[in-house]
């Protein structure tokens, strides 16, 4: 079963998310509400990966599951985006197991337990 649910606002084809650990919302339905996405991830103990602040706001007042990885990177070329995530993704994965929220910035990663 996939561990990570990638939101529609993130690239569909990204090598980091091509394995069996990830499922993209595009494959499930692009018209789901945030609540439907939340419940789907909660029922399956998944980590929601998104650029959407709604999920990080919601996890601050909720208990896992789901957990959230919030990518707080502005617009950039896909190659630069991929390079940045490739460097930070292993640490974000490790931090997501013990923290309800992991925020990825261009220059750092922050967590909330």
Tell me what the mean pLDDT of segment 8-22 comes to.
Answer: 85
Candidates 53, 111, 51, 27; CA nearest to 40 is 27
Q: Picking from 5-14, 39-48, 63-72, 102-111, which range would have the lowest pLDDT averaged per residue?
A: 5-14
What phi and psi, each to the nearest 5 degrees, are found at residue 65?
Answer: -80, 165
Cα–Cα distance between 89 and 8 in angstroms, integer?
Answer: 18
The token pair at 73 is: 């990177």
pLDDT score of 14? 84
In the chain, the largest separation of any two C-alpha atoms, in whole Å, equals: 35
Domain limits for position 63: 4-112
Angle between helical axes of 34-43 and 53-60 (0-180°, round to 10): 60
pTM: 0.94
- What's the domain count of the chain? 1
Residues 29-74 pLDDT 10s: 878 999 999 999 999 999 999 999 999 999 999 999 999 999 999 8
With cut-offs at 50, 70 and 90, classify the pLDDT of residue 2: low
């Amino acid at each position: 079963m996939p561990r990570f649910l990638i939101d529609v606002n993130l690239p569909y084809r990204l090598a980091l998310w091509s394995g069996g650990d990830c499922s993209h919302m595009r494959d499930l339905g692009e018209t789901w509400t945030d609540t439907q996405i939340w419940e789907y991830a909660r029922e399956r103990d998944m980590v929601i990966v998104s650029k959407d602040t709604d999920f990080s706001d919601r996890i601050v007042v909720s208990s896992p599951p789901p957990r959230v990885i919030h990518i707080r990177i502005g617009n950039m070329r896909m190659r630069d985006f991929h390079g940045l995530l490739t460097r930070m993704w292993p640490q974000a994965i490790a931090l997501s197991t013990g923290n309800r929220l992991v925020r990825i910035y261009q220059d750092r990663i922050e967590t909330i337990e």
